[in-house]
Structure 1
Amino acid sequence: MADATTHFGGTIGGVPDSVALLQRHAPDAFAAYLAAREAAYRPPPEGHLPVAQKELVFIVLDVAAGHVEGALAHAEAGLRAGLTAGQIMEALSIAILVHGHQCWARAGAAVMRRVEELSA
């Protein structure tokens, strides 16, 4: 198992404050979380999805959950992994169909504003 700085730095660019808090105050829970996250990020052939597709799943799930900070971090990582603004928007359009406009208003629009900034 990698340390948090190495793993999160390599996936989303840094350790989120929420994760750092978990690490400081619940080290056993953090260790389990980190192990599960490392497993989710395994590249093929151990894992089955390319990193860009994994990031797209994370974006949509974070948007559906209203977790703006996570959705933004995964959108940035997704763009670095090769996702396009169109792919992200299409996936978010599907999220709107399933979860309603509120997921767009709470988090999806913020993601696309950030994607626009980074893609400009």
Structure 2
Amino acid sequence: MTQAEAHFGATIGTLPDSVALLRRHAPEAFAAYLSAREAAYRLPGAGGHLDLAAKELVFIVLDVAAGHAEGAVAHAEAGLRAGLTPAQIMEALSIAILVHGHQCWARAGAAVMQRVDELAA
């Protein structure tokens, strides 16, 4: 297992296809992306300041705001594993709707909550 596979496995469970393509076609860009991602995932005591659940909530909201449903869903799954509740995720998404409008809900937020509902059932 490579460093990248270990990192993605430990954070969201798997190396996404889009990231695998980046690694294959632009290895230097991928290396920079991986380094930045590893830094973002540092936990308190290891140079980070947010706990894992908070980091995943930020990733969820930013992916939803960007319309990246696949990433938002992956981070929602990881967030639930890190201790987020469905209500916390929905509250954060409600704030995203206020700031970015209903389109972010329609493009990605609803998919997140659909997956959260499936996992919570």
State the TM bucket, normalised to the shorter chain.
over 0.9
Moved over 6 A (4+): none
Where do 1:11-90 residues align within 5 Å? 11-45=11-45, 46-90=47-91
Q: Structure 1: which amino acid aligns with 2:37?
A: R
Structure-1 separation of matches of 2:12 and 2:74: 6
Q: Percent identity?
A: 81
Q: Structure 2: which amino acid aligns with 1:20?
A: A
Q: Structure 1: which amino acid aligns with 2:34?
A: L
CA deviation string 1:29-80 (max 9, x = no partner)? 0000000000000010210000000000000000000000100000000000
Shift of 1:4: 1.2
Structure 1: 5+ residue runs without aligned partners?
Answer: none
Shift of 1:3: 1.4
Structure-1 separation of matches of 2:78 and 2:92: 16
TM-score (ref. length: structure 1) = 0.98
Equivalent position of 2:96 in the other structure: 95
Equivalent position of 1:114 in the other structure: 115
Shift of 1:95: 0.1
Structure-1 separation of matches of 2:19 and 2:7: 12
Q: Structure 1: which amino acid aligns with 2:6?
A: T
Pairs aligned (count): 119
**What's the secondary structure of 1:83's corresponding residue?**
coil
Structure-2 separation of matches of 1:106 and 1:18: 18
CA deviation string 1:85-107 (max 9, x = no partner)? 00000000000000000000110
Equivalent position of 1:4 in the other structure: 4
Structure 2: 5+ residue runs without aligned partners?
Answer: none
TM-score (ref. length: structure 2) = 0.97
Structure-2 separation of matches of 1:102 and 1:34: 30
